[in-house]
Amino acid sequence: MSGGLPFGYRGADSEALRGEARGTMMCGSAQESLSEFWEGSLSAAASARVEAHLASCPACAREARQMKAMLDLFKDRCVRREPVLDLWAELAPKVEQAVAEERLGVMDRLRLRGSRFCNNVAAGA
């Protein structure tokens, strides 16, 4: 028997046999709810059940404190940062250059690209 229930029992009243239907929460359910509890995504009623269970169960309260400490550590270490680069400031000149090149005739475009190629070779040499 596991948790006071007959082996393999999955009847509709299994929660009542475990005590959850009476408003109390079992350790497994409480521990499964801890993440959502700390995120604040549980309903008010579910959050109250978790709080009540943590107040009466030292083992789950310890588990909850450890999880909270870990989440706080992650929040402190994983600070969200805004991107430093302004992408448009970097891309705008390149877009303008490409548009200007498209307006050139074929021969002028070839001369410009040949000139760039020579400058790149000279810079690398």
Q: Do 39 and 75 form a contact (C-beta atoms < 8 A)?
A: no
What predicted TM-score, i.e. pTM, was given to this entire model?
Answer: 0.45
| DSSP line for 24-45 | ---HHHHHHHHHHHHHT-S-HH
Q: Do 97 and 91 form a contact (C-beta atoms < 8 A)?
A: no
Residue-wise pLDDT for 16-68, tens only, equals: 334 444 456 788 888 889 989 988 899 999 999 999 999 999 999 999 999 99
DSSP designation for 20: G
